[in-house]
Structure 1
């Protein structure tokens, strides 16, 4: 199946941002009053074909974006040229994730979100659900300054793990790097969402 035929979870932008009253750019933490107002609208998700959503700015595609930590280090990965998304080749990221699909066995959107995020962690870096400690939703990430960002919103999770259990099955597409939090910025060359999170969360 083409990735464009994948059925994904989306939310109408007008509802999500309350007619732009709750719109933001950058990382929005759960302590911000807008966080609760925005996440309440996720109950009104719809299931749409990904290819139809890629250029439809009236909807936001829900994307999991999990920050993986082990003690005082944060996992950074670099997308190599073997990976699928050419726009991201050579860039660093601190978020492991992807588009969200409907999980019929889970009734509410919160459980669907966590199941999607956990699935991506298993697929990308080999972590089982039992390996995930202090797994929580800590905020949202949005960037309406470019055409890709205008059709996506990131649900930012954080999880603590034993770094010995982290690996990649795709050494031709991902290079894993553990970085002290205070040294994250020095690595540079991040994709936009990671840049914004490092700016707003770590600095």
Structure 2
């Protein structure tokens, strides 16, 4: 199946941002009023064909975005190589492991849908088994409406503490990883927009 035929979770923009009253750019913490309002309307998600959504800004595609911290307090940084799926992000570094979300049959809550998708991406991208991602912590959202990629996506941001021994790139043609001391990144030019915005907020 082509990636464009994948059935993904999206939320109508007018519902997500309450007719733009809750629109934001940057990182939005889960404990903010606006962050809670946005989380509460995620239950209005729809399942659409990915190819139809990539250039339709009336919908936001939900993307899991997991920040990994190891036992030494270092954060995972990875570079997207040319073998990866999103051409617009090749050569850029990122601190978020994740991807598009799919519907979860039998899920009782939106929280279960979000976590199940995030855990699946962690296993697929960096080999972290589900039994070692139970401590996944939802921390907020990331949004950037200033470019064509950001305009159609909304990041659901998680943080997780892991053992670096449990992390290994599964697709070496698409990703290259390294661990970096938190607070030691002083130049965000090589990072994709979402990572830059999060680093500015949490460093």
Q: TM-score, normalised by structure 2?
A: 0.95
Q: What's the offset of the Cα at 1:107?
A: 2.4
RMSD of equivalent CA atoms: 1.3
Q: Secondary structure at the match of 1:55?
A: coil
In the alignment, does 2:70 pair up with 1:70? yes
Residue aligning to 1:153: 154
How many corresponding residue pairs? 202
Separation in 2, partners of 1:166, 1:184:
21
Q: Secondary structure at the match of 2:158?
A: strand
Q: What's the offset of the Cα at 1:88?
A: 1.6
In the alignment, does 2:19 pair up with 1:13? no
Residue aligning to 1:59: 59
Separation in 2, partners of 1:197, 1:122:
23
Separation in 1, partners of 2:136, 2:149:
27
Q: What's the offset of the Cα at 1:173?
A: 1.9
Residue aligning to 1:176: 177
Q: Which moved more, 1:127-136 or 1:38-47?
A: 127-136
Instruction: Kindly indicate whether the alpha-carbon contact (under 8 Å) linking 1:131 and 1:162 is maintained by their aligned counterparts in 2.
Output: no
Moved over 6 A (4+): none
Residue aligning to 1:24: 24
Residue aligning to 2:40: 40
Q: What's the offset of the Cα at 1:54?
A: 1.0
Larger % of helix: which? 1
Return 5+ residue gaps in structure 1 as ranges: none
Return 5+ residue gaps in structure 2 as ranges: none
Q: What does 1:100-139 align with in structure 2 at a 5 Å threshold?
A: 100-132=101-133, 134-139=135-140
Q: What's the offset of the Cα at 1:186?
A: 4.4
Residue aligning to 1:79: 80
Separation in 2, partners of 1:84, 1:151:
16
Separation in 1, partners of 2:53, 2:136:
29
Q: TM-score, normalised by structure 1?
A: 0.95
Q: What's the offset of the Cα at 1:134?
A: 2.9
Q: What's the offset of the Cα at 1:188?
A: 4.6
